[in-house]
Amino acid sequence: MFSSKTRQPRDYQNRSLDALAEPPEVGHELFVGLSALRDTLSSRHHSRDFAFAHARYLRSRVLAVGLIFALLSPLWIVVDTLALPVDLLRYTLLGRVMLMLGLVGVLALAYFSRERIRRIRFSAGMLLALPAAFYLLVLIVLPPEQLVNLVGYGFIPFLLVAALSVFPFTLLESLGAGLAMLGLLGFAQLADGSWLTGQGVESLWLLASLLVVSLAANHFQLSLLLRLYRQATHDPLTGLFNRGALELHLSKVQAWQRETEGQGSFGNVPCSLLILDLDHFKRINDSYGHSGGDRVLCQFADLLVRQTRRHDCVARYGGEEYVIILVGSGEARAMEVAERIRYAVEKSEFTDHDDRIIAVTTSIGVTRLLQDEPPQQALKRADEALYRAKREGRNQVMVANNPLSDE
């Protein structure tokens, strides 16, 4: 049972995390068309776990499109050789070679950045920036009277804006890139004298229209990606992480523990696991029906979310069992949180669809999560503590045996 002697200062967890890198974060992303425009507008509200999934998807697109650009660049040199006067080739050939090397570098960066979110996003930006920079350089160094001889260069801004629709960028990211391409086209028109002419206005209007189409494609592509992510990782009844996502998140928390080892004044960051089970849940289903039982499960999940922090993880493990990962909490603090949850469940008024009050209690098993152990081992240890709590009368908290003493 829980003992008040284990109580820690309320700011213990927060102070232990202040000096460290941000831990993996849990979030809930749900898309329904344009109603979730906020989530496609920027990545500010995306969880850390979805950021990893998004980066892996973006990386595959960077590798595919980068490879296409890299293969087309040598062919474009052949087109330049056939179409441009000899005196212009010296302006473009060196730029083409530099562009090819840059694209190869982008491909290498994306290929070796499997879990590096910032590097993947940087490689995606560079994939679009390199051809634009090449075109801008040609416009600057080429004599103005020779610009009319360029063949195939004017479509670069259009190609890059169209390429935006291939990537699951946020709307702000695509809008920024699109405005940059509009600026590039405007500069090209000032250089060749077509600015504000009929042809120039038509080109600007066409590029702006293409940008709107790309923004719409970004919205629907990113919203679909978020929806699929949620369906694959979240429990449809409660909206919490499902079992598979929980185990993946556990491994990420352990990786974060290893990365932050020795940082800050608190040294290694402790993490703990709680497994919670609703007592006599079969009686609730028998007395109030399965719809009443489902309602209790949802209310219980909502209570757990309210009793934990943003960086903690609450998941439905199966049936009436739930798991909580307490990031930055040692065993003593985890016991305090578990007892607080147990008391809140006991005192809360759970109701069925007819507003009949249902008495609900929970038994909880607690253990420390070691950074180098298999996640299933920690779950098994907490589960054994949970069943000890149920055998000894339910509606109580039990701590698992010290895992270090078992080795």
What amino acid positions are annotated as catalytic residues? 320
Q: Are 241 and 235 in contact (CB under 8 A)?
A: yes
* Residue 132: both structure tokens together: 């634009």
Enumerate residues 6+ apart whose C-beta is below 8 A from 144: 191, 192
Beta bridge partners of 277: 321, 363
d(CA 391, CA 2): 16
